[in-house]
Amino acid sequence: MAQYDYDLFTIGAGSGGVRASRVAASFGAKAAVAEERYLGGTCVNVGCIPKKLLVYASHYSEDFNDAAGFGWTVGERRFDWAKLIANKNKEISRLNGVYRKLLGDSGVTILEGHAEMIDSHTVAVDGKKFTAKYILVAVGGWPMVPDIPGAEHAVTSNEAFYWPSLPEKVIIVGGGYIGVEFAGIFHGLGAHTTLLYRRELFLRGFDDDIRLTLADEMRKRGVDLRFKSDIRSIDRAGDLLKATLTDGSMIEADQILYATGREPKTRELGLDRAGVALKPNGAVAVDEYSKSSVDNIYAIGDCTDRMMLTPVAIAEGMAVANTLFNNKPLRPNYLNVPTAIFSTPNCATVGLTEQEARQANLKIDIYKTSFRPLKHTLTGRDERTMMKLVVDQSSDRVLGCHMVGPDAGEIIQGLAVALNCGATKAQLDATVGIHPTAAEEFVTMRSKVA
């Protein structure tokens, strides 16, 4: 008789938890996953996928306007928010089904309900107990709203994906990628959009040239960016919300969306009963193999507060499955992880920023270009694309690539491969570009700017 009900019990059926469970099952482990909300987690339901669908929708306003420069006459147009959300919901429902089938076909048991730890080897799902040799915590994170007067009138990105109607005026609070992306979405769909951020410039942690370029491009489009600004309190006046800012001024909106960060969703999991150590912010403390303070309990993804990206959670899940069930201990590789911001225009980056390289006392060369995309020579749109390379002087290795412009994520993905292969600036220079493309600029930059 088996000592445990399962070899691996995963709490959370997001991208990381699902991948870990499926890979473990492929290695012969008896696996189960518990989920109290929706299969696919944040990314599929209220994150990456629906967000990018809304980004696509928002770009049509510019595309319609740009068409005239190419000889097209565009007739009367009208945007239907309810139709967009209904179509989005249909696609998310399809993806939920895909995740269910993937787990089922892999032989993973799905338990729908709230899971909590009873002890280090026992999990209860809505009161029913299960034992497991290993337990994996993959519950992700949850958006936060600060405790200010009137905070109950604000929403987060979770709710914004299901608004019954598009607000005429919206205030977004927060300078991370979520706030920046939603600012582009709502502005593109026709809402008067104000973005507030309490520091001097948004997108802290990204290269300064990305931050400055994107701010300039968003302001050109008419987004009301207000840095060194925050909300002190919110009051409701009929259908309107009145936000009093820290400088004493007041602005009105139909909706106020907070994108000021996410916290690990580790509360009400009973982790204390199992002896799992948490960081001050509630994140599960793990070692380089994603093992918690308890030998048989692991944690991956956003609830560990390491690198909060879906592909990273998936890589962490695969590493745990290999470590535990394939006799192949693996540590996730966090070096040169590319990331994109689906702002308007897009941004993407991989490797070191100029600021990080200088803080590390590296001797570097900087190559940078800014140009008007070919498309806009006919549209007349005042838009600039920015590309930048950070190069180590002693080895000629490319340490970082940064871009603001259309399809930035698609372009930087390929450069991420090059960086992980140790590409040098000379090798980029020796690469023949594809003409005419924006991407060719990365292999034709010859003049150092710093």
Q: How far apart are CA 396 and CA 394, in angstroms?
A: 6
On whether the CB atoms of residues 25 and 106 are closer than 8 A, the answer is yes
Q: Residue 224 burial by CB count (10 A; 0-12/13-18/19+): exposed, middle or buried?
A: middle
β-strand partners of 390? 366, 400
pLDDT, tens digit, 9 for 90 and up, residues 60-90: 999 999 999 999 999 999 999 999 999 999 9
Average pLDDT of span 403-416: 98
Provide the pLDDT confidence category of residue 176 given band limits of 50, 70 and 90: very high
Residue ranges of the chain assigned to CATH 3.50.50.60? 6-142+263-325, 151-260
pLDDT digits (tens, 9 = 90+) for 305-337: 899 999 999 999 999 999 999 999 999 999 999
Q: Which pair of tokens denotes residue 147?
A: 């405790």
Decide yes or no: CATH 3.50.50.60 for domain 6-142+263-325: yes
For the CA atoms of the chain, what is the radius of gyration? 24
Question: Is-contact 51 107, C-beta < 8 A?
Answer: no
Distance (Å) of CA 107 to CA 7, 28, 101: 13, 10, 10
Q: Which residues contact 443 (CB under 8 A, 6 or more apart)?
A: 428, 429, 431, 432, 433
pLDDT of residue 227: 98
309 vs 2, more confident: 309
Closest CA to 199 of 222, 218, 225: 225
Q: Is the pLDDT of residue 295 over 80?
A: yes
Q: Using CB atoms within 10 A of its CB, is residue 247 exposed (0-12), middle (13-18) or buried (19+)?
A: exposed
Q: Sorting pLDDT into bands at 50, 70 and 90, what band is 277?
A: very high
Q: What is the pLDDT of residue 447?
A: 85
Query: Which DSSP category does 303 fall into?
Result: G
Q: At 313, is the secondary structure helix, strand, or coil?
A: helix
Other Cβ atoms closer than 10 A to 382: 10
- DSSP assignment of 59-82 equals HHHHHHHHGGGGT---------HH
pLDDT digits (tens, 9 = 90+) for 235-275: 999 999 999 999 999 999 999 999 999 999 999 999 999 99
The predicted structure's pLDDT at residue 380: 95
Q: Tell me, what's the pLDDT at 185?
A: 98
Q: Give CATH 3.30.390.30 domain extents, the chain.
A: 339-443
Give residue 450's pLDDT. Answer: 83
Q: Tell me, what's the pLDDT at 2?
A: 77
The pLDDT assigned to 52 comes to 98
3-state secondary structure of 6: strand
SS3 percent helix, strand, coil of the chain, rounded to 5, is 35, 25, 40
What's the token pair of residue 142?
Answer: 């949850």
Q: Which CATH number fits domain 151-260: 3.50.50.60, 3.30.450.20, 3.40.640.10, 3.30.2350.10?
A: 3.50.50.60
Mean pLDDT in residue range 31-45: 96
Could you tell me the two tokens for 257?
């969306």
Residues facing residue 195 across a β-bridge: 172, 225
Taking a C-beta distance cutoff of 8 angstroms, is the pair 352, 399 a contact? yes
- Domain covering 339-443 assigned CATH 3.30.390.30 in the classification: yes
* pLDDT > 70? residue 1: no
> Residue 369 has which token pair?
């270009």
pTM: 0.96
State how far the Cα of 235 lies from the Cα of 244, in Å rounded to an integer.
8
Q: Given a cut of 80, is residue 22 above it in pLDDT?
A: yes
> Across all residues in the chain, what is the average pLDDT?
97
The token duo for 264 is 């690990």
Catalytic-labelled residue, pool 59, 192, 402, 435 = 435
Tell me, what's the pLDDT at 157?
A: 97
Contacts of 192 (CB under 8 A, 6+ apart): 168, 169, 170, 224
Q: Which residues of 42-70 are buried (b: 16+ CB within 10 A; e: fewer)?
A: bbbbbbbbbbebbbebbbebbeeebeeee
Neighbouring C-beta atoms of residue 275, cutoff 10 Å: 13
402 is known as an active-site residue: no
Question: What does the block give as tokens for 212?
Answer: 């400055």
The fraction of the chain above a pLDDT of 90, given in percent, is 99
